[in-house]
Amino acid sequence: MSHNVLAFCNQKGGVGKTTTTFHIVDAARRAGHRVLALDMDPQGNLSTVLSSGGSSPGDAGIADALSGRSDATLADVVAPSIWGGVDLVATDPNSESLAFVRDELILGGAGRERRLRDALELLAPSYELVVIDCPPSLDLLTINALVAARRAVVVSQSALFSANGLARLRRTIDVVRRSYNPTLELVGAIINLHERNTVAGREQLAEIADCIAIIGDPVPKRVVLKDSAEAQTSLLDWGTTDARNLAGIYRRTSELLMEGVGSGTP
C-alpha cells in the first residue's frame, strides 16, 4: 500500500500503546494532517478516549466491517472524533463484538488475514495518516493490522520484560512480511514510560536500542500522559509546562513517522 498506514503494536499490555496512539494522533492533526484512527483492540480504549460521545451502544463499528456476517463497509462505520480532522472507526468497549470477530477469523479460511487490508483499500487514500491501535496480543486481529499496514511501530517500555518480548514480535512481523505483506516495514520503537534517572531505565533502553531503532526521544513516565488522554484533552491544552514539553516530544516523533525516518529496519 502506498498510503501512510501505521500499526502501533506490542503483544504486552500496559506499555502505554493506546495513550501513545492518542498523543501521536493529536500531534499529526495539529500539523494539519487528516487522520483516520482504527481501534482494533476489543477493549476499545482508543475509542473511549477519541469518541465524540455521539455514538450509542450497539452502533456499528470495526467489527461489522470485518465480519463475514455483515454487509457494512469501513466507510459505513467511520465517525467523527473529538477533534476536527480526525475520524474514528471505533470498537464498543462494552461489547464483545470484536472478540467474536477475532474468533470468527480463526475459522475464516482463505483471505482471513486480508480482511482489514481489503476494507481499507478505497478508504485509506482519503487520509494523510491512518493509525491502527492493535490489541495486546499476536492474534488474527494484530495480523490483520500488520497485513493492512505500510509500517509497523512498536510501543515499548524501557523495561526488561518489554525488551524480551521484542524478539517474538519481530518474528511475527517477519512472517507477515514474507507471507502476506512484502512491503511492510518495521520503523522502530517508541519508548514510553521511560525512567532516565534510574540505572535500570538507562540499561534497558540501551538493550532495546541494540535490537531495534528508537524513534524520537523516549517519553518519560508521567501521570499527565494517561490523565490527559482519559480527559480527552490535548497535552497542549492541559496547561502545564511539563505537559507542553511532552507534547513537543510527540510532535517531533509524529514528524519522524510522517517522514518515514527509521523505516526499512530488517
Q: Which pLDDT tens digit goes with each residue over 148-192?
A: 999 999 998 876 655 667 888 889 999 999 999 999 999 999 998
Show me where the domains of the chain are located: 5-259
Q: What pLDDT does residue 57 have?
A: 53
Q: Which pLDDT tens digit goes with each residue over 102-152?
A: 988 888 777 899 999 999 999 999 999 999 999 999 999 999 999 999 999
Q: How confident is the model at residue 34 (pLDDT cuts 50, 70, 90)?
A: very high
Q: What pLDDT does residue 158 have?
A: 74
pLDDT of 259 higher than 70: yes
> What is the mean predicted confidence (pLDDT) over 199-215?
85
Write out the chain in H/E/C secondary structure.
CCCCEEEEECCCCCCCHHHHHHHHHHHHHHCCCCEEEEECCCCCHHHHHHECCCCCCCCCCHHHHHCCCCCCCCHHHEEEECCCCEEEECCCCCCCHHHHHHHHHHCCCCCHHHHHHHHHCCCHHHCCEEEEECCCCCCHHHHHHHHHCCEEEEEEECCHHHHHHHHHHHHHHHHHHHHCCCCCEEEEEEEECECCCCHHHHHHHHHHHHHCCECCCCCECCHHHHHHHHCCCCHHHHCCHHHHHHHHHHHHHHHHHHHCCCCCEC
Task: Report which of residues 228 and 206 the model is more confident about.
Answer: 228
Q: Which pLDDT tens digit goes with each residue over 55-79?
A: 555 678 999 999 988 899 999 999 9
pLDDT of 265 higher than 60: no
Task: Report which of residues 171 and 197 the model is more confident about.
Answer: 171
Q: How confident is the model at residue 264 (pLDDT cuts 50, 70, 90)?
A: very low
Q: What pLDDT does residue 113 have?
A: 93
Q: How confident is the model at residue 205 (pLDDT cuts 50, 70, 90)?
A: confident
Q: How confident is the model at residue 94 (pLDDT cuts 50, 70, 90)?
A: confident
- What's the CATH fold of domain 5-259? Rossmann fold (3.40.50)
Q: What pLDDT does residue 162 have?
A: 59
Q: Compute the mean pLDDT over every residue in the chain, rounded to the nearest whole number.
A: 89
